[in-house]
Copies of this chain bind each other. A is one copy, B any other.
Amino acid sequence: MKKILFTSVFALLLGFHALAQSPAHKIVIQVNTSDTTAWHGVVRNIGNLQSALGPNTSIEVVAHGSGIGLLIGSKTTQKAKIAELAAKGVSFVACENTIRMNKIDKATLLPQSGFVPSGVAEVILKQEAGWSYLKP
């Protein structure tokens, strides 16, 4: 009996420890608009988040639907900033549903782009994993 209790409490403490080791802030940003002013806003938001929340912050930008252009070399207005932010650890992921539906050649995407099967599902999965949601 005592052993079971001890194991329970130990598991609980292990959980707290794991929590303490994870990033202090985790943010998923959804981009589903072709509005380049909004794209500029996203990049500015990320800078502000990094300044305000410090280096122990994970940020993932999910581009899907009309927002996929943010990550297409010939369409994005934020090429230099995305390269700079990605070098600092910000993730940029493109929705493979959107890519397939719009017959986009993956080679036309920025080299910093990662991929997720579904952008909208990614936004949900991140929230389920404790990430905060930002719709710019």
Contact = CB atoms under 8 A, between A and B. Distances in A.
A86 B48 CA distance: 27
Contacts of A1: 2, 6
25 contacts: A1-B6, A5-B6, A8-B9, A8-B12, A25-B124, A27-B124, A41-B65, A45-B120, A48-B118, A48-B120, A49-B120, A49-B121, A49-B124, A51-B118, A52-B117, A52-B118, A52-B121, A53-B124, A53-B125, A123-B134, A124-B132, A128-B132, A132-B133, A133-B133, A135-B135
A132 B45 CA distance: 20
Contacts of A135: 30, 135
Interface residues of A, number: 36
